[in-house]
Amino acid sequence: MKRRDFIAAGAVGAASTALAAPAIAQDVMKWKMVTAWPKNLPGPGVAAQMLADRITTLSGGRIEVQLFAAGELVPGPGVFDAVSEGTAELYHAVPAYWGSKSKGILLFGSQPFGLRADEQFGWLYHGGGQELYDEMYARFGLKPFLCGNSGPQMAGWFRDEITSVEDLKGMKFRTTGLASEMASKMGMAAQAMGGGDMFQALQTGALDAGEFIGPWTDSALGFYQVAKNYYWPGVGEPSSAEECAVNAEVYENLPDDLKQAVAVACQSLYNPVWTEYTTKHAQSLKMLVDEHGVQVRKLPDDVIAAMGDAAAAVIDELRQDDDELVKRITESFVAYRGSVGEYMTYADNGQMNARAAVLGY
């Protein structure tokens, strides 16, 4: 698919319409899924359709999910409110988009210098995170589930090469979530926008740089055409969880077997979505370098260190937030990161470092 197809799909405007209750015909519930993505955008757009299909299948066809891409029923940034208010039954997006609702929500998606994809799932399902996730989203009439992850994201596309922390001062940079808080503390002008808008802003110079997801999705959106410097590591988002949220009243009115079908549909997609990203990111990065002349560059060490200081300040502010729930979410995240981080020194980190140093085949 071409970049312009995704931009056109994501740019369609539409007004919200009220939804009284799930339409039922011959015991089939017709559910609307609204998404933050253009239809079939490699990565999140593909994953959203997979989820819609899986809920339909696991429910035995008793829940029939129709997907509406960004702009087809409501604009992408409006999907949280649409499901909260009952315009649609469920959405597919990322927690990083909902910081205006509560800063605590952002921790469920990604954290600067935070959790990897497997650790993020571990925190929610084995470290007490899901209970906090439920408590936060209940404030908005939603029942949330993680349903995928992009894995490590890239630091972003830069029009010019970065040599020092000073190069970032005043830079107009597209990012989201807590990564935008980190960027702001470094003197950057963080801006949130969709992928199509990011391409146009880089093209016109309205942006100096920006990150979206990673090589698979980024190549489809054509960022390599307007910025050739592709930086790593993406410490702002070591992983980025995708979520499904269901209108809480609709979910609670389901029989137990259909509640389980929705939950299993989400949970069972986490690994397939994550591993597809990993596989296709690797393939796409090679293509970007070999076919499009992209320069893959590492952020200077002093830049990474400054980002670490800024990230620590962001987390410290969350720990002192006026909202008691935000404090509890933050402390839970920090404790889990500390626990698995210490173990990873001997486990995955040790294995990966050993493999990189001595590749015998």
Tens of pLDDT along 165-212? 999 999 999 999 999 999 999 999 999 999 999 999 999 999 999 999
Strand 156-158 vs strand 229-232: parallel, antiparallel, or unpaired? Answer: antiparallel
237 marked as binding residue: yes
Name the residue with tokens 């035995």.
60
* Residues pairing with 190 in the sheet: 173
Q: What does the alpha-carbon distance between residue 253 and residue 250 come to, in Å, rounded to a whole number? A: 5
pLDDT of residue 26: 54
211 is in an annotated binding site: yes
331 is annotated as contributing to ligand binding: no
pLDDT at residue number 361: 80
From the candidate CATH numbers 3.40.50.620, 3.10.290.10, 3.40.50.300, 3.40.190.10, the one assigned to the domain spanning 156-237+294-324 = 3.40.190.10
Q: What is the mean pLDDT of residues 281-286?
A: 98
pLDDT band at 41 (very low <50, low <70, confident <90, very high): very high
Q: What is the pLDDT of residue 6?
A: 46
Q: Full-prediction pTM beyond 0.75?
A: yes
φ, ψ of residue 74 in degrees (nearest 5): -140, 155
CB 113 within 8 A of CB 308: yes
Can you count the helices (H) and strands (E) in the chain? 14, 12
End-to-end distance of the chain based on CA atoms, in angstroms?
35
To the nearest whole percent, how much of the chain has pLDDT over 70?
93
215-230 burial, b if ≥16 CB within 10 A, otherwise e?
Answer: bbbbbbbbbbebbbbb
CATH 3.40.190.170 in the chain, residue ranges: 3-152+238-279
Query: Above 60 in pLDDT, residue 2?
Result: no
The packing angle between helices 44-58 and 256-292, to 10°, is 150
CATH 3.40.190.10 residue window(s) in the chain:
156-237+294-324
| Nearest Cα to Cα of residue 51 among 266, 267, 257 | 266
Annotated ligand binding at 153? The verdict is yes
Residue whose tokens read 């399902």: 125
Query: Domain 3-152+238-279 is classified in which CATH homologous superfamily?
Result: Bacterial extracellular solute-binding protein, family 7 (3.40.190.170)
Task: State the average pLDDT over residues 74-100.
Answer: 98
Ligand-binding site membership of 337 (annotated) = no
In 22-104, which ranges are E strands? Answer: 23-25, 28-35, 63-68, 90-93
